[in-house]
Amino acid sequence: FSGIGGFDLAAEWMGWENVFHCEINRYGASILKSKWPNSIQYNDITKADFTIHRGAIDVLTGGFPCQDASNAMSTGGGQQGLDGARTGLFFEMCRAIREIRPKFVVAENVANILSVNGGKDFGRILTELSSMGYNAEWRICYASEQGAPHKRGRLYLVAYPDSIRIKQGETFIPHVQQKVTPFEWRAFGANVPIVRGGSWNSEPPIPCVVDGVSNKLVREQIKAFGNSVVPEIPLLIYKAIEQFESLPQPPKASK
């Protein structure tokens, strides 16, 4: 579920090596191949064999599909959650975890994954991770916490082996900004507030047109951006992981 490489861009900023990607969308896969030509490229996760990476991956990331958990699918038989064909691909991610056995897992989905099916689905997620020997922590993070001109709440989860013990109050998901400074972003000077948050000079507004977006490539780009993570957020998670890994670890208890 590499998308256009939001997790991977943050890893590159850290100086980490992106070993492989897995993305079934053609446009997303083309971006990944162009940006990271030396990484192994997988297409269909249900057909990918990850056993060759066993014990060789420190951090495994995945923004597993959200369509069956999104609020946008609240009608018409939607919100099947993990029972849906798309969000249910989380279990393929679990297979990848079992085959690879990474030290850390960083997952992302819509905030509503906490509530879909009465919260039972998220319980299943935690149970699956626990059955593989992983503890987990999670938090809803907002792009506006990093100064983006949109709220974009997403759930981030970090899983790590039971053998890792962090102190009370410590976290792998740092609070980016406790209080967001109110800011109204306006498109082309129009007197219509779009969202509240911060401001990114590098992110131009998307023009609104009466008949929508007609160019297929532009539609693919907008869809990819909509599905992608904001890399500044996993960057903070990665920094917390690297800081933890660089600290002296207590000796393991002998039997």
Catalytically annotated residues: 66
Q: Which residues contact 200 (CB under 8 A, 6 or more apart)?
A: 147, 148, 149
Q: Based on C-alpha coordinates, what's the Rg of the chain?
A: 19
DSSP code for 136: E
Say how far apart CA 187 and CA 230 lie, in whole Å: 21
Identity at 84, one-letter amino acid code:
G
Say how far apart CA 86 and CA 170 lie, in whole Å: 33
232's tokens:
């500044």
3-state secondary structure of 41: strand
114's tokens:
């906490």
Region of 184 on the Ramachandran plot (φ > 0 left; ψ -120 to 50 alpha; else beta): beta
3-state secondary structure of 35: helix
DSSP code for 173: S
Residue 72: CB atoms within 10 Å: 12
3-state secondary structure of 66: coil
Say how far apart CA 61 and CA 109 lie, in whole Å: 12
Say how far apart CA 206 and CA 208 lie, in whole Å: 6
